[in-house]
Amino acid sequence: MVRRGGKRRGKREQKTITWSDPKVPNGPDSLSPDIDQTQRLIAEVWGHCDDVEFRRLQVAGRRAFVVWIHTLVGKELAQEGLLAPLTRYAGPVNALEDVQNALSAVSVQPAGTLEAVNRAIGNGLAVLWVDGFDRGLAVDVMEFQGRPVERAALESVVRGPQEAFTESLDCNLGLIRRRLKSPRVKVEYLTLGTVSKTRIALLYIEGIVKPGFVEECRQRLARIEVDSILDSNYVEEMIDDAPLSPFPTVEYTERPDRLSAELLQGRVGILVDGSPNGLLLPAIFVNFLQSSEDYFERYTMALAIRVLRHFYFWMALLLPATYVALLSYHQEMIPTTLLITLAASHEGVPFPAVIETLIMEITFEALREAGIRLPKAVGQSVSIVGALVIGEAAVNAGIVSPAMVIIVALTGIASFTIPSYNIAITFRILRFPFIIVAGIFGLYGIIIALLILWIHLVSLRSLGVPYMSPIAPFLWADLKDAFNRPPWWQMRKRPQNLEPLDITRSAPIQRPLPGRTEGEPP
């Protein structure tokens, strides 16, 4: 649970959340059948909005008007699905359902209050009001031009699906539904942000996910009171279990195939309209070191890559600190020939090893950040050329030793092997305290810092699930997919630490004997 003011947020008194904007008048519970009074009330609320358009028309002899935001409405959809059927309709209008049946739009919903009308207009729908009725119709003729589905940028793979989420919630849900076509995949909508009115989708698979996870996510989302939600990180920080920890307890992904796979494991997904990243709960530490490509390649290759990734993961954290500790305090642990080489390369450098390492690490991080912020065409070239030029110049000037340039380069390469960007940033930050502790206490300081780090990791929870499971607590059945990647015919069970209702994924596969085709008699 999230801590605020020293108390658990789950113990706070529940509040009734009102999704309406307090600065926007909601009007009475029902609007007037008088079309002039209703149009005047809506125009007052949406005053000084030049992109809001009112259009008068006749529907079977009755006065009517349509209001929409013209930047969100498709002109052809509005003409063919709304205006043309209304102008051609000549039947009786005894009830609002008669008008609704005459429309050819995909979605038509009633809107009986000013709050419902305001929400429909803000979501890009067209609101139709006919004289003599106290309810309107919200017609879906929205056609917002957004970014098309493109390749994943942060979680790119060589083999497997290449699609990534976009900023459109409907498009993202469609990408999930394409992969999971079962009605057991449930989607619950919420609206957060009194000004932004951002749509949030809560996804889970009924019969697999633990019901407590879904209910806890509902409660945490309902407690969010904010004026705007512009990205999924807004939601992530407000439902985080440990907001003061550098380690994320909410995982995010830009890949719909990965979110679909995690839903099948028994996790809960959250999609935010306007964000190309989906959130996953609960988060487990070992999942941050797993890539989607691990399951798209043969398990023998995926096993070697995953082991190599775990090795370089800890190398990215400990290599600079270990170099500083050995060179400063524990020279006897270095082979004599290597020690002579290191001492010769460090001769003439005016800084101790710890200061030298900090200078190079800070410079490397600055170059990496500059490469991200620069335009894509030149950013990568600037970061690579800048590192080479600055490193060579620093060595020639006698500011740093050549060995230090090699250590920093290896550390940077190791950090690039981490598949999850948010956990990679965490270890990039933690690298500096480890370097400082190693410069003061040597290897003893590194060991103490590692113990503190592990104590902190095992104390974390995500929706009540231990962050370091299946290592602590130890679960042998879940461990096979943590460091290893077994073949698909061996992964017949879902992770026990997620407590799924249905733990069985597949039935045992009867494999044919070597050298004999299936069905051939012995």
Q: What mean pLDDT, rounded, does the chain reach?
A: 84
SS (H, E, C) 375-431: CHHHHHHHHHHHHHHHHHHHHHCCCCCHHHHHHHHHHHHHHHCCCCHHHHHHHHHHH
Q: How many Å apart are CA 438 and CA 355, to the nearest integer?
A: 11
Q: What is the DSSP letter of 466?
A: E
Q: How many Å apart are CA 41 and CA 114, to the nearest integer?
A: 9
pLDDT at position 284 is: 92
Residue 521 has pLDDT above 60, yes or no: no
For residues 27 and 37, the answer to whether their CB atoms sit within 8 Å is no
Quickly state the pLDDT bin for 334 (edges 50, 70, 90): confident
For residues 261 and 203, the answer to whether their CB atoms sit within 8 Å is no
Side-chain-facing half-sphere of 303: CA atoms under 13 Å = 9
Per-residue pLDDT tens over the stretch 96-107 = 888 888 887 678
Q: What is the mean pLDDT of the segment spanning 394-404? A: 81
Place of tokens 């070992």: 286
Stated pTM of the model: 0.82
Residue 360 has pLDDT above 90, yes or no: no
pLDDT at position 14 is: 36
pLDDT at position 338 is: 85
pLDDT at position 518 is: 55
Place of tokens 């067209």: 126
Q: What is the mean pLDDT of the segment spanning 15-22? A: 45
pLDDT at position 5 is: 38
Q: Residue type for 33, please? A: P
pLDDT at position 497 is: 87
Cα radius of gyration (the chain) = 30
Per-residue pLDDT tens over the stretch 241-270 = 988 899 999 999 999 999 999 999 999 999
Higher pLDDT, 355 or 90: 355
pLDDT at position 220 is: 93
pLDDT at position 20 is: 54
Quickly state the pLDDT bin for 436 (edges 50, 70, 90): very high
Residue 427 has pLDDT above 60, yes or no: yes
Per-residue pLDDT tens over the stretch 191-203 = 999 888 899 999 9
Percent of the chain surpassing pLDDT 90: 28
pLDDT at position 27 is: 55
Side-chain-facing half-sphere of 5: CA atoms under 13 Å = 4
Quickly state the pLDDT bin for 336 (edges 50, 70, 90): confident
Q: What is the mean pLDDT of the segment spanning 210-220? A: 93
Q: How many Å apart are CA 97 and CA 110, to the nearest integer?
A: 10
Q: What is the mean pLDDT of the segment spanning 507-521? A: 61
Residue 60: which residues within 8 A CB-CB, separation 6 or more? 89, 90, 91, 92, 93
